[in-house]
Structures are given as C-alpha cells and as structure tokens.
C-alpha cells in the first residue's frame, strides 16, 4: 500500500526550497499526526526533503531516500536511485509505505498512490513550493477531522484522508 502524506496551506503551498528552517507554520499537532501515521509503516522521500529534515533518519520506520547521486550517503537510511525501487519496496512490504515529499516526488507518485493523507492549514503563508495539480475527481474523501486549536496550535487545520476511487 502506497500513501502520500503532506501538509499544505489554503493555496496548496507546502514549503520553501530556499532558506528552509522548518514548516511555514507552527503546528505541533500535525507533526504528532505525521509521526503517528508514518510509524505504521516506512517512509520514502526525495533527497532535498531528506536533507531539510533536522533529525534524519526519523526513528522507528525505515527511511528511503531517492537520489540520482550514485555515491550518496545517508547513514541509517536506504538510498535508492530509481522510482521503481520504491514501487518494488512498497509492493513487497507488508507495511504501508508513505511518500513524504517533496513536490517533485509527490508529483511522480501521485499516479501510484492508494491513499492521500492531507493536512490543510486554513490560512495562507509565504512559500515557493506547491503541491502539484491533482484531479480530485479520482479521489474520495473518506475521513475529515478538524484539529484542535489551542495555545500551541493557533492555526485552524483539518486532517483529511482520501482513497483512490475504485
Ligand atoms: N508540507 C509538507 O508536507 C512537505 C513535505 C516534504 C517536503 N516539503 C517541501 O518540499 C520542498 C522540497 O521539494 P522538492 O521538489 O524541491 O525536492 P524533493 O522532491 O524533496 O527532492 C528532489 C530530489 O529528489 C531526487 N529525485 C526525485 N525524483 C527522482 C527520481 N525519479 N530518480 C532519482 N532521484 C530523484 C533528486 O535528487 P538528486 O538531486 O540528489 O538527484 C531530486 O533533486 C521543500 O520546500 C520542502 O519543505 C513539504
């Protein structure tokens, strides 16, 4: 089972390629959600996203890094060089594989994904990286849950789960 998981603002913005120092919003609830969901399986991401993570590899799940650099080193992670390596891994695994970004990788795996976990932050932020266009006609919203807004999570947000229509 292959799932995409991301957080975006109301404009579909997911981050900044330049000058990244964390997500554009402060939302610990979403980080906890991400951690809880992805620990159910393993994660795969592009080299840029891997290098943007302050603590990598993330614990308690296999981290797979996609790069064209043949000599790339990512201690503790599995480095692969082809999209098909990730599809094969997901096919052979008895656990879900979560694609955790970034934009270029979401775009490549959209056609292969069975599920989308999308957190929508109900605000707009500065950023330059956007989720690719998605034909939502192909997807059914099967869960939608409002996140709790409190002193640590000041932005309204919704956790959505989409399943590819049969
Ligand atoms: N909001 C969210 O949930 C979220 C989550 C993740 C990331 N992001 C954001 O996404 C942005 C990064 O996205 P991005 O599109 O710039 O980079 P990316 O997708 O993370 O990584 C791109 C790199 O992955 C490798 N790659 C991708 N496809 C490949 C393929 N088919 N074969 C071999 N290597 C491949 C290449 O690495 P090499 O150059 O080494 O060959 C490529 O340069 C950042 O702004 C980040 O903050 C947001």
Report if residue 114 sits inside a domain.
yes
In order of 82, 115, 137, 139, 150, the CA distances from 165 in angstroms are: 27, 10, 8, 5, 35
Residue nearest atom 47 in ligand 1 by C-alpha distance: 15
Distance 67 CA to ligand 1 centre (A): 9
**Given a cut of 90, is residue 77 above it in pLDDT?**
yes
**Given a cut of 70, is residue 19 above it in pLDDT?**
no
Question: Which residues are CB-neighbours of 122 under 8 A, at least 6 positions away?
Answer: 10, 155, 156, 157, 158
Return the number of other C-beta atoms located less than 10 Å from residue 107's C-beta: 13
Tokens of 152: 């640590």
Residue nearest atom 5 in ligand 1 by C-alpha distance: 101
Report if residue 133 sits inside a domain.
yes
Tokens of 55: 């603590």
Q: Is 5 in the pocket of ligand 1 (CB under 6 A)?
A: no
Distance 120 CA to ligand 1 centre (A): 20
Burial 126-156 (b: 16+ CB within 10 A, else e): ebebebeebeeeebeeeeeeebeeeeebebe
Rounded CA separation 49/98 (Å): 14
Report if residue 154 sits inside a domain.
no
Report if residue 157 sits inside a domain.
no
Q: Is 67 in the pocket of ligand 1 (CB under 6 A)?
A: yes
Report if residue 31 sits inside a domain.
yes
Question: In the prediction, which pLDDT does 54 show?
Answer: 87
Question: In the prediction, which pLDDT does 18 show?
Answer: 65
pLDDT tens-digit profile of 142-153? 999 999 999 999
Report if residue 162 sits inside a domain.
no
pLDDT tens-digit profile of 48-67? 999 999 899 999 999 999 99
Under DSSP, the state recorded for 150 is B
Q: Is 86 in the pocket of ligand 1 (CB under 6 A)?
A: no
CATH code: domain of residue 102: 3.40.430.10
**Given a cut of 70, is residue 9 above it in pLDDT?**
yes
pLDDT tens-digit profile of 33-50? 999 999 999 999 999 999
Report if residue 97 sits inside a domain.
yes
For residue 92, the enclosing domain spans 2-145
Structurally, how many domains does the chain consist of? Answer: 1
Report if residue 121 sits inside a domain.
yes
Q: Is 52 in the pocket of ligand 1 (CB under 6 A)?
A: yes
């Amino acid at each position: 089972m292959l799932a995409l998981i991301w957080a975006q603002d109301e404009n579909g913005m997911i981050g900044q390629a330049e000058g990244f120092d964390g997500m554009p919003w402060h939302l610990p609830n979403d980080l906890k959600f991400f951690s809880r969901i992805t620990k159910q399986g393993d994660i795969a991401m592009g080299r840029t996203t891997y290098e943007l993570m302050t603590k990598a590899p993330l614990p308690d799940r296999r981290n797979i890094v996609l790069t064209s650099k043949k000599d790339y080193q990512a201690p503790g992670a599995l480095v692969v060089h082809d999209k098909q390596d990730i599809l094969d891994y997901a096919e052979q695994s008895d656990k879900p594989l979560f694609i955790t970004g970034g934009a270029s990788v979401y775009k490549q795996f959209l056609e292969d994904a069975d599920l989308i976990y999308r957190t929508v932050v109900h605000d707009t932020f500065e950023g330059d990286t956007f989720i690719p266009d998605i034909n939502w006609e192909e997807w059914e919203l099967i869960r939608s849950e409002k996140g709790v807004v409190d002193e640590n999570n000041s932005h309204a947000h919704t956790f959505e789960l989409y399943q590819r229509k049969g």
